Amino acid sequence: MGPHPAVAEVRRAVRTSLADLPPGALVLVACSGGPDSLALAAALGFVAPRAGLRAGLVTVDHGLQEGSAERAERIAALAPDLGLSPARVLRVNVGSEGGPEAAARRARYAALDRAAAEEDAAAVLLGHTRDDQAETVLLRLARGSGTRSLSAMAEVSGVYRRPLLAIPRRITETACAALGLTPWDDPHNHDVRFTRVRVRRRLLPLLERELGPGIAEALARTARQCREDADALDEWAERAYLAALSPVLKRVEAEVGEPVAGRAHAVPGAEGARPAEPAGDGATGFADGETASAPGPVGLAVPRLEELPAAVRRRVLRRAAVTAGSPAGALSAKHLTEAERLITEWHGQRRVDLPGGVTVERRYGTLIVARAHP
């Protein structure tokens, strides 16, 4: 007799997610003890040895609730029974910048980044489900986000993988019950002070009642379509960036007195640093987690930019701003719209200031994006 259908579905999702990894690679699962990550951990423990992979568990103690340290130790202690080794507890200090949810997320991902590097893990599995994806889309719709942000969470983002994005939460809960696992019910998941909890407990059920069932599935489908569109636009914008850069490299180098950032500073296409959360408001721009390896001034030929659709042109501007040293997380649609006016509504206006001390100026048919000199 085979496994329960819910268990089989989660295992199949994990097997598919890991199919490209080489034999002997280490895969870590981030487990909070909730039904999603617990079902994921159990599936990894079953799938990994059969796929010739090693599998371990990490759990993050945010220190935000009484007894969190003991709870984290109990979660780590489950690892041997699930076939997972090593098992590590990652203790973090959560700040306050950006609110409690954002601060906890930053601390959690920083700890997971370090653990993946220290263990030389090929992948870290995260337990986000289709319901989480739907909640993320609604949260970003409320912010007035663009295509990249509405694409929400990627199945693969650098070292991070989310095998359960197509699976509803009820399947993970059923899988845990079928395996005799008792998930931890985090009190924070019921605290309506948190925006995501209000979306989960109030908004999504209201939409289901008023618009009919299948809202979460439809929102997750929207995210997939937005990601495909955003990827295509980003690819177009990268080609346009290089085409606009080529004619003016030497001229701008002479102007600013230093090498210009160009082809050697490509922005990664994956959401390496923070896979679940696009930089800034996500209204425009390249893939999440973008960075410039060595910031420097950028020069772009205005005629090349004038012929581009607005969605592509603003992506090119964002690419140039990040390459010049502007923090991706601080760049907003408003910043890029102001910079775009130097191309589309040019009448001799002064430079545009961007975050990070970067400025955008138009000189003799060239858009120069560079840090301002004192």
Using CB atoms within 10 A of its CB, is residue 82 exposed (0-12), middle (13-18) or buried (19+)? Answer: buried
Region for 325 from its dihedrals, namely left if φ exceeds 0, alpha if ψ lies in -120 to 50, beta otherwise:
left
Give long-range contacts, CB 8 A cutoff, 24+ apart: 213-218.
Answer: 215/134, 216/130, 216/131, 216/133, 216/134, 216/168, 217/130, 217/134, 217/168
Q: H helices of 128-258, where?
A: 130-142, 147-150, 169-179, 195-198, 204-211, 215-245, 249-256
C-beta of residue 325 within 8 angstroms of C-beta of residue 295: yes
Annotated binding residue 33 = yes
Residue corresponding to tokens 């609110």: 99
Q: % helix / strand / coil in the chain, to the nearest 5?
A: 50, 10, 35
Torsion of Cα atoms, 280 then 283 then 288 then 294, to 10°: -70
Q: Which letter does DSSP use for residue 276 in this model?
A: T
Annotated binding residue 285 = no
Q: In a 3-state reduction of DSSP, which class is residue 322?
A: helix
For residue 28, what are its two tokens?
Answer: 């870590």
The helix (H) or strand (E) run that includes residue 362 is: strand 358-363
Annotated binding residue 96 = no
Annotated binding residue 35 = yes
Annotated binding residue 34 = yes
Q: What is the C-alpha to C-alpha distance for residues 116 and 114, in angstroms, rounded to an integer?
A: 5
Residue ranges for the binding site?
32-37
Residue ranges for the binding site for ATP?
32-37
